[in-house]
Chain A
Amino acid sequence: MSYRYEIRLSGSGGQGLILIGKILAEAAAIYDGLNATQSQSYGPEARGGASRSEVIISDEDINYPKAEDLDILLALTQEACDKYVKDLKPGGILLIDSQMVKKLPKENFKIISLPIIQYATERLGKFMVANIISLGIITTISNLVSGDAIKHAIKARVPKGTEGINIKAYHTGKEMAEKWLKEHPEN
């Protein structure tokens, strides 16, 4: 059966959300042979400091390019969570940073609250890799793209010399997601 998976990555400027959108889309399209689109927010909202990137992955043609019925919403700020949670479909996954998003919405979806930024700064010593940790969590939970594809795509997008720390960040995210899945076997 064919599928269409919609992911929105949201937060604020400087969190590298557009980069992980590109990585995810390229991993799916180039290395796993799927169809994918990626888009990002422009305009005054982006100038205000907010950031949003969307990825749609499908095994068929993507006829409708806008993500409006989200399977996964990553929200790295409370504001992004409040703003976009309405677009999450029933049963969808809301992935939030436990430090940044304290006010949790009460709807029919799964909430995964993890200390993404804390792990980035404390375990990896770099706030900047919180995005790649998020990517590791998303790809592990959704099982959308293969580990090899995502690692290829990460290496092909990050600056030279930072491949190691970014792959490490991906693994950190992957482990966080695996631990969460173990603790929540119903998922």
Chain B
Amino acid sequence: MKHNIDYSTIDLIGRSSELGNHHLKYIYNIEKNFDALVSLIDEKGLMEQVRLLRFSRKPEKTMRFITKYIKDRDTSLDILGCYYSLQFLVMNFKAIDVLKLDLFTSVIDKYNAFSSFISRTGNDFRLLSGAYMEILLNIFLPKDNRPDFMLCSVGTRVDQDDIDIGIIDRGPENRKILTSAFSSLNTQMLKNASTLHYHISEHVGGIGYSASIQEYHNLLDDKIRDFVLINEMLNAVPIFGTNELFTQFNNEILSRYYSHKGKDNKYHEGYLRGLIGEIHDLIMRVPPENTLHPKNDALRMIKAIVFALKTWKGIKQVTSIDTLKILMKCDTPENIEYYNRLYKSLTFFETFKLLYQLFVVQEEEIHLDSIDFSRTLEPVAYTMGYEDNHYAKATTQLLIHYQDHLKMAQSGAKKIVKNITHHLGEITVFYPITHLKPTIETNIEYKGNVARDFINNMRFFSGTRFWDDFLVSLDNPDEKLLNRFLEDLHALPDNTRKKIISKYMKWGKSTPYTIITLMTIIRKHKSHFQEASLINEFLNAFIAGINQTLDDIGRLSKVLIYYPQKMYNFLSLLSEKQLEKLIGILDIPIVNEEVNKTRVKMLAICQLQNKSSYYFKRFLHRVFNSYPDYIISFDNPKKFRQLSEGLYHNIDNFDSIEEKLEKLGRYYDFEFIRLGINTINGTYFGIINREFTIFSDNYIQVLFELCKQEVSKKIGQELVTKDMLAIFAAGGHARSQAFDDDYDLIILLNSEDKHIIDFANQIIVKMNINITRRSIMPHYRFADRFGNYVTTFKELIDFFNNPDEETFIDKSQLLGARMIVGSAHFENEYVEQLITPFIYDKRNEFIMSLLNEISSRYNYHKTVKVLDIKESPGGLRDLENFLFILKAHLIIRDSVSIKLFALLSRRLPEFEHLFDQIYNDYYFLKHVRDLYHIMISDDDELQKNYLMDIIEPLSKTKEWKIDNISELEIRIANAFENNIRNIEKILTGIGHTFKY
């Protein structure tokens, strides 16, 4: 159609291709009805009054023209929709252009430019959409037949993907008329503007889009309910309708969520408890690596803080940005700094989110793993003032700043939430319970039953998640409240107590953090037996209430992510049966990716807890309580390794020896745990043994140095021990054997100097204390015999010159010993003065003693029907004695390792195949023993009932595929028999008369 006026949408539509596809809806509306709209303007001579391609400050005026001149309702609606669509596009282009100009000209600070962008666009959008809704309602609900109502905007002003509204009416009698009108409004908004959302009416009222003040009373008077609903109500800004209704709504409903000095503040308190719970969760939330979600990452947290501040400080009816501006003007300088952080983050994230939704898609979540994400983000980055440069692309800079602002928001939130929590402590209705007296000024003892009254008063607050004030009071070292709580709980009749416990469980179902904390507090303060049955009662009820649902598992996951130590300590409280029940619950996948990831971790921790021996749990407990963050990373051996290496290399950076010793101990614990978990996960035993030997040797070497420094400092002189003092590992550690329950050490001194002996003894005393702290019992060979930790060469020479029946055992310890601390010179002296003259030169006698030992052990053990991995014939002890015989026979100094087997094969090539078999059986038995030590008990006598636990990790190793207990028993028995046979063959083959 040809018009008299030259309006063209070519430029507008062309430019729209810069925006996200959701703008196609507006273009569709424009293309369908633009000619008709222009014709109308043309016909009516309104070209000077109507602004089509520029944003109008009075859009309702043009809309009125349209409805005035077009009598056909459907045509009128279509033309209105077209006009709205035009203005909507123009509004967005204007918003983008002005922001770019502000940032380009640098007239104002970047954050103020963002702030203006958000405020201006929000106001423009409200102006346009408000006018459109009003005009539409004039059509659907003519003023002469219009019941009282107030239409309020309740959401974020600038959000364009939907418009959150609430409608207050006078009650159900005229609701049908309102509902019909709003239904028609709804359809027009969906077609031509943004979808309307009536969140409040989903919760309040009955059929229809609106709710009366009485219905708000009915829903909200006796329970705090959903704080999100209260957020929306507090955001309510009247758009049009009967003002009186809004005033009444404000006075009767909204104002009670504000703080009122000296008055009943339970509504305000409940609202704050909901908000603070949310803020805590969001502060600690770890955003997924592959997505950005401005709302979940930062905006929800900042806005929750702003809402809390608004209701506390009495700031009404303004946006979050404006609220922060007010606070920055009037609060203390210390707080202003933190408000400023929140302000900067808020404006950054709001701008980022709005631009993303304008340019890309109206979704909250941004996937970083899509191929095009960088290109997709380009217009957002450019509009926010970033430019590509030689060191980083604009989008990269934007993503870095995204993370920076996230941290900035969290740091601001942490401080401000403390202030809010303090305020909560002053106004809470629970003050008489937590302080056991009615007010701060009085000294009257609280008369009620604390346990019962607390949970009953909780009813009003159900669903809120912040209860740290109560829990912190329970955890007070004076134990006043805790004792009273427990006494009062026990004082209740059985049935009542059960009911009260079930109320606590109901509370814990929606906020498991609280119950988990309560349990751990009781255990922390009370000994194992004191409250065992009560804790058990709580735990059984708690676990029975957990379902395999996203809600339940999601809430538990949060506790693990945000409070890993608490969760770990809670899991430590569970009995085997309770743990198994929980494992059964956690075994089912959850569809939500984030929750499912945490579920898998939680399941693994439960399984680890369930599978670990007390021996291994001692290490777990120490590590997880020192570094709780590693609880959720325990299945990440790389991360563990990084930390332990860091600890090891950082030892020298500490000033005091005490600190150094503490870090060294942690290094040991971390490595122990890491390798334990790797063993359970099926890592090749050769790697485990090698790494275990490296870290335990590192530990002893550094421990010796530190203890030597400490003793030197104490005596005020540093004695030179080089070439005179050495520490040897004996027993399992000498054979590079992981997870020994004790630490056999030989401390040798090649000197008779009393000062040196005393000095060395003092060092070993200190070392002893530190090794014991690691829950490992150090054993000092010869200490009992000679009465000192330190043994001198002379003492040994005298002893070997006057041997008794068991001297061969001491000699074999020396032969098997591996030097950890000491010099090459010392090792030579050791061989020359002790090993050669007393073992190698007298090897026949030594070998005979060992052969007799093997035979007598066989005769003793063949009648004992226990499965002892070490002592049974053909077990580890026989193999070790057999290897001592060969070392003496062939004059070999090497300690037991893979290298020794290779050497034996070379020296006795005719038995190579037998050595191969012995090697395999030796390491198989050793691996079974390691797993048994970690998962069941640090005992060598295997209990058949528990063997099932080690089948799974054993079957993970490539070498041994074992599916059930009987297969494992057969495999162990075969290893014993093979060893007996092979030992016999080799010993006979090299000329010794030996038969089992």
Instruction: Write the residues of chain A forming the contact surface with B, with a CB cutoff of 8 angstroms.
Output: 11-15, 19, 22, 25-26, 29-30, 35-40, 42-45, 47-50, 61-66, 76-79, 82, 100, 128, 152, 155-161, 163
User: If A29-B190, A42-B199 touch, does A158 touch B209 (CB 8 Å cutoff)?
Assistant: no
Contacting pair B361 A48 (CB below 8 A): no
Contact of A77 among B180, B363, B463, B550 (CB under 8 A): B550
Shortest Cβ distance from B277 into chain A, in angstroms? 10
Once the chains are docked, how many angstroms separate the CA of A77 from the CA of B376? 31
Shortest Cβ distance from A79 into chain B, in angstroms? 5
Q: Which residues of B contact A25 (CB under 8 A)?
A: 190, 195
Indicate if B191 sits at the interface (CB-CB under 8 A): yes
Indicate if B244 sits at the interface (CB-CB under 8 A): no
Shortest Cβ distance from A133 into chain B, in angstroms? 16
Q: A39-B198, A100-B591, A157-B361 are in contact. List 11 more A-B contacts (CB 8 A).
A: A19-B363, A29-B190, A38-B195, A48-B555, A50-B550, A61-B183, A63-B180, A64-B207, A66-B202, A79-B591, A156-B24
20 CB contacts below 8 A, A to B, read A12-B592, A15-B591, A29-B191, A30-B25, A35-B187, A37-B190, A40-B197, A43-B226, A47-B228, A49-B554, A49-B594, A61-B183, A63-B179, A63-B207, A65-B208, A77-B592, A82-B549, A128-B367, A159-B376, A161-B376
Q: Which residues of B contact A49 (CB under 8 A)?
A: 550, 554, 592, 594-595
**Interface centre among B183, B229, B360, B594, by most A CB within 10 Å?**
B183
Indicate if B459 sits at the interface (CB-CB under 8 A): no
Q: Which residues of A contact B278 (CB under 8 A)?
A: 47
Identity of the chain B residue whose Cβ is nearest the Cβ of A37 in the assembled complex? B186
Contacting pair B592 A157 (CB below 8 A): no
Once the chains are docked, how many angstroms separate the CA of A108 from the CA of B507? 36
User: If A30-B191, A49-B550 touch, does A64 touch B367 (CB 8 Å cutoff)?
Assistant: no
Q: Which residues of B contact A22 (CB under 8 A)?
A: 195, 362
User: If A156-B24, A159-B376 touch, does A65 touch B595 (CB 8 Å cutoff)?
Assistant: no
Contacting pair A79 B551 (CB below 8 A): yes
Shortest Cβ distance from B739 into chain A, in angstroms? 40
Once the chains are docked, how many angstroms separate the CA of A155 from the CA of B21? 7
Contacting pair B209 A65 (CB below 8 A): yes
User: If A11-B591, A29-B187 touch, does A160 touch B463 (CB 8 Å cutoff)?
Assistant: no
Contacting pair A14 B197 (CB below 8 A): no
Once the chains are docked, how many angstroms separate the CA of A43 from the CA of B551? 13
Once the chains are docked, how many angstroms separate the CA of A38 from the CA of B194? 11
Shortest Cβ distance from A16 into chain B, in angstroms? 8
Contact of A157 among B21, B176, B202 (CB under 8 A): B21
User: If A63-B179, A77-B550, A156-B24 touch, does A43 touch B591 (CB 8 Å cutoff)?
Assistant: no
Q: Which residues of B contact A35 (CB under 8 A)?
A: 183, 187
Once the chains are docked, how many angstroms separate the CA of A25 from the CA of B228? 25
B interface residue count range (under 10 / 10 to 19 / 20 to 34 / 35 or more): 35 or more
Contact of B228 among A40, A42, A128 (CB under 8 A): A42
Once the chains are docked, how many angstroms separate the CA of A77 from the CA of B372? 29
Contact of B463 among A36, A44, A63 (CB under 8 A): A44
Contacting pair B21 A79 (CB below 8 A): no
Contact of B180 among A40, A44, A61, A76 (CB under 8 A): A61
Q: Which residues of A contact B208 (CB under 8 A)?
A: 63-65
Q: Which residues of B contact A45 (CB under 8 A)?
A: 551
Once the chains are docked, how many angstroms separate the CA of A163 from the CA of B22? 12
Once the chains are docked, how many angstroms separate the CA of A27 from the CA of B164? 21
Once the chains are docked, how many angstroms separate the CA of A36 from the CA of B550? 30
Contacting pair A156 B25 (CB below 8 A): yes
Contact of B22 among A15, A62, A156, A161 (CB under 8 A): A156
Contacting pair A160 B179 (CB below 8 A): no
Interface of A is mostly: mixed
Contact of A65 among B186, B362, B554 (CB under 8 A): B186
Indicate if B365 sits at the interface (CB-CB under 8 A): yes
Once the chains are docked, how many angstroms separate the CA of A49 from the CA of B144? 46
Contacting pair A63 B183 (CB below 8 A): yes
Contacting pair B186 A79 (CB below 8 A): no
Q: Which residues of A contact B195 (CB under 8 A)?
A: 22, 25, 38
Contacting pair A77 B591 (CB below 8 A): yes
Indicate if B565 sits at the interface (CB-CB under 8 A): no
Contacting pair B361 A62 (CB below 8 A): no
Once the chains are docked, how many angstroms separate the CA of A65 from the CA of B183? 8
Q: Which residues of A contact B595 (CB under 8 A)?
A: 49
Once the chains are docked, how many angstroms separate the CA of A2 from the CA of B93? 42
Once the chains are docked, how many angstroms separate the CA of A37 from the CA of B162? 12
Contact of A37 among B180, B187, B203, B550 (CB under 8 A): B187
B542-599 residues with Cβ-Cβ distance < 8 A to A are: 549-551, 554-555, 591-595
Once the chains are docked, how many angstroms separate the CA of A48 from the CA of B228? 13
Contacting pair B226 A44 (CB below 8 A): yes
Shortest 6 CB-CB contacts between residues of A and residues of B: A156-B24, A12-B592, A49-B592, A159-B361, A43-B228, A77-B591
Contacting pair A163 B463 (CB below 8 A): no
Contact of A13 among B22, B228, B592 (CB under 8 A): B592
Indicate if B20 sits at the interface (CB-CB under 8 A): yes
Indicate if B184 sits at the interface (CB-CB under 8 A): yes
**Interface centre among A11, A152, A160, by most B CB within 10 Å?**
A160
Indicate if B201 sits at the interface (CB-CB under 8 A): yes
Contact of B550 among A79, A155, A158 (CB under 8 A): A79
User: If A40-B197, A155-B21, A157-B22 touch, does A63 touch B591 (CB 8 Å cutoff)?
Assistant: no
Contact of A62 among B187, B463, B592, B593 (CB under 8 A): B187
Shortest Cβ distance from B441 into chain A, in angstroms? 38
Contacting pair B21 A39 (CB below 8 A): no
Shortest Cβ distance from B562 into chain A, in angstroms? 14
Contacting pair B183 A14 (CB below 8 A): no
Identity of the chain A residue whose Cβ is nearest the Cβ of B195 in the assembled complex? A38
Once the chains are docked, how many angstroms separate the CA of A39 from the CA of B164? 10
User: If A48-B551, A65-B208 touch, does A159 touch B187 (CB 8 Å cutoff)?
Assistant: no
Identity of the chain A residue whose Cβ is nearest the Cβ of B229 in the assembled complex? A43
Q: Which residues of A contact B786 (CB under 8 A)?
A: none
Identity of the chain B residue whose Cβ is nearest the Cβ of A44 in the assembled complex? B226
Shortest Cβ distance from B61 into chain A, in angstroms? 26
Indicate if B28 sits at the interface (CB-CB under 8 A): yes
Identity of the chain B residue whose Cβ is nearest the Cβ of A157 in the assembled complex? B22
Q: Which residues of A contact B363 (CB under 8 A)?
A: 19
**Interface centre among B186, B367, B549, by most A CB within 10 Å?**
B186
Once the chains are docked, how many angstroms separate the CA of A160 from the CA of B636? 38
Q: What is the 8 Å Cβ interface bit string for chain B, positions 805-844, against chain A (1 contact, 0 not)?
A: 0000000000000000000000000000000000000000
Q: Which residues of A contact B555 (CB under 8 A)?
A: 48
Q: Which residues of B contact A158 (CB under 8 A)?
A: 21, 361
Q: Which residues of A contact B554 (CB under 8 A)?
A: 48-49
User: If A49-B595, A63-B176 touch, does A160 touch B20 (CB 8 Å cutoff)?
Assistant: yes
Q: Which residues of A contact B197 (CB under 8 A)?
A: 39-40, 42
User: If A22-B195, A156-B21 touch, does A61 touch B184 (CB 8 Å cutoff)?
Assistant: yes
Identity of the chain A residue whose Cβ is nearest the Cβ of B558 in the assembled complex? A48
Once the chains are docked, how many angstroms separate the CA of A15 from the CA of B592? 9
B441-480 residues with Cβ-Cβ distance < 8 A to A are: 463
Q: Which residues of A contact B29 (CB under 8 A)?
A: 30
Shortest Cβ distance from A116 into chain B, in angstroms? 12
Q: Which residues of A contact B180 (CB under 8 A)?
A: 61, 63
Q: Which residues of B contact A160 (CB under 8 A)?
A: 20-21, 360, 376
Once the chains are docked, how many angstroms separate the CA of A160 from the CA of B23? 11
Once the chains are docked, how many angstroms separate the CA of A43 from the CA of B164? 13
**Interface centre among A15, A48, A50, by most B CB within 10 Å?**
A48
Q: What is the 8 Å Cβ interface bit string for chain B, positions 357-371, against chain A (1 contact, 0 not)?
A: 000111101010000
User: If A19-B363, A22-B195, A48-B550 touch, does A64 touch B179 (CB 8 Å cutoff)?
Assistant: yes
Q: Which residues of B contact A42 (CB under 8 A)?
A: 197, 199, 228
Identity of the chain A residue whose Cβ is nearest the Cβ of B595 in the assembled complex? A49
Contact of B21 among A43, A61, A66, A163 (CB under 8 A): A163
Once the chains are docked, how many angstroms separate the CA of A84 from the CA of B319? 36
Q: Which residues of A contact B201 (CB under 8 A)?
A: 65
Identity of the chain A residue whose Cβ is nearest the Cβ of B24 in the assembled complex? A156
Once the chains are docked, how many angstroms separate the CA of A39 from the CA of B187? 12
